[in-house]
Amino acid sequence: MNAADAGAPRTFPFRIGARSRLFLRLLYGVRPGRQAVEVYQEVRVRFGYFGFSVPVASISGWRIEGPWTWLTAIGIRRSIRCADFTFAGSPRGGVRLDFRRPVRWGPFVVPAIYLGVEDLEGFAAMLEGRGVPGLDART
């Protein structure tokens, strides 16, 4: 990515599996136009009725992980052990964003989020182009 592209806004839709589509629409309001990650100077998550936003400068690193089991991946999930959140519509995997300091989201304090976007590699490359280091940890 060249320097001019590094600051350009980018949109990454979530991957929504065929088996998950109706469930996500009914429970979370996920439908076309309401399910994407937009990146400019902030990472803005839109997952149906829910949104999450964090400045790119607050991200300390990224990591591609997955695939996951359907039951533990679909929807908005909070990890009991680590207190991170997942926004996903497919068990294919996601990009984990670790924050320099935990981010407040409503009543929660969030140290990291997972984003199950369609283009995992493109999203990671875009973050790398903005100076955020990371790695692909898929098996």
Averages of pLDDT over each 10 residues, the chain, 139 residues: 61 95 96 95 97 97 94 90 95 97 97 98 96 92
Residue 4: what pLDDT? Answer: 43
Residue 70: what pLDDT? Answer: 85
Is the whole model's pTM more than 0.85, yes or no?
Answer: yes
- What's the longest Cα–Cα distance across the chain? 41
Identify the helix (H) or strand (E) that includes residue 36.
strand 35-39
Domain of residue 11, residue span:
3-136
Residue 1: what pLDDT? Answer: 44
Residue 73: what pLDDT? Answer: 87
Q: How far apart are CA 2 and CA 15, in angstroms?
A: 26
CATH of the domain at 41: 2.30.29
Q: Is 119 exposed, middle or buried (0-12, 13-18, 19+ CB in 10 A)?
A: middle
Instruction: Name the nearest CA neighbour of 27 among 15, 35, 36.
Output: 35
Tokens encoding 6: 């590094």
Number of domains comprising the chain: 1
